[in-house]
Amino acid sequence: MTQIRHAPVAPTRTQLLAPGGMIDAHRHDDHQIVYAGRGVLAVTTSSGSWVAPGNRAIWVPAGTVHAHQAHGEIELHLVGLPATDNPLGLDAPTVLAVGPLLRELIIAYTRTPDDDTPERSRLRAVLLDQLRASPQQPLHLPTPASPPLRALREILHADPADNRTLDELGRQVGASSRTLPRLFRSDLGMTFPQWRTQLRLQHALVLLADKEPVTTVAHQCGWSSASAFIDVFRHTFGHTPGSHPAK
């Protein structure tokens, strides 16, 4: 059985991770805000995965076992908050929008973790105010529990461009056309097209972090054209993949 590292206090700091670098599964007694100022960060828990580019941060509640993985060179900014201080009122990992002001606040706050001056306390107060105003983003890819959905996940994780219908995939994993839609709703809380789009977008973020051309990313992730991919990407992230923040 894998040993889960327990770090009671969630650190506040800036940390660099090389492409492919990982922080193994661990948990804190504190809440934590995880933000990649450069590159794309994946956070994984037993219930799913969250991928955040440079205009998104991930809220990790106290006690959540989670691991980090870097895609591209990561400048990781970690903000620890006491378990009693939950400005968002969230008890599950969540992706948050990060505007220009919140970005600069997070960067400034994590670069001086040992500073206990009144100025830094005021900086923290403004940071928390901005967090409360940050829209939540539906960028969670839940991990299925049922065997048929787990098998289907492995197929599409290996090849996101697999465009077979749910009926066709069902025949491969041994589940009927009635069973799979019901499992998606009951197990994952979303439809198959919604889940597959989330999976493809997560793969797209990773490929963009590796500096793959937009057209290549579109085809490797299953979109029929670059323009179709760009439309979905813009709708989800608020900008085009060509202007994807990799700062």
Question: For residue 32, what pLDDT is reported?
Answer: 93
Kindly report the number of other CB atoms within 10 A of residue 45's CB atom: 18
Q: Which pLDDT value is given to residue 244?
A: 54
Q: Which residue has the tokens 């700091």?
A: 13
CB 4 within 8 A of CB 27: yes
- Is the Cα torsion angle 160, 161, 164, 166 positive or negative in sign? positive
Where does the pLDDT of residue 169 fall: very low under 50, low under 70, confident under 90, or very high at 90 and above? very high
CB atoms within 10 A of CB 120: 15
The CATH H-level (homologous superfamily) assignment of domain 144-243 is Homeodomain-like (1.10.10.60)
Question: How much is the pLDDT for 247?
Answer: 44
95, containing H or E segment: strand 94-97
Residue 106 to residues 123, 208, 245, Cα–Cα distance (Å): 9, 24, 16
Distance separating alpha carbons of residues 39 and 20, to the nearest angstrom: 11
Cα angle at 102 between 201 and 56, to 5 degrees?
10
User: Looking at domain 5-140, does it have CATH number 2.120.10.30?
Assistant: no
What's the pLDDT score for residue 156?
95
Q: Which amino acid is at 140?
A: H
- Rounded Cα distance, 51 and 139, in Å: 7
Side chain identity at residue 188, one-letter code = L
Task: Give the whole-angstrom CA distance, residue 135 versus residue 205.
Answer: 20
Domain ranges of the chain: 5-140, 144-243
What residues contact residue 3 under an 8 Å CB cut-off, 6+ apart?
Answer: none
pLDDT tops 60 at residue 198: yes
* Mean pLDDT across 114-122: 88
DSSP of 173-224? HT--TTHHHHHIIIIISS-HHHHHHHHHHHHHHHHHHTT--HHHHHHHTT-S
For residue 235, the Cα-to-chain-centroid distance in whole angstroms is 17
Q: What is the per-residue pLDDT across 8-43, written as a single tens digit (0 to 9) for each?
A: 777 899 988 888 888 999 999 999 999 988 888 889
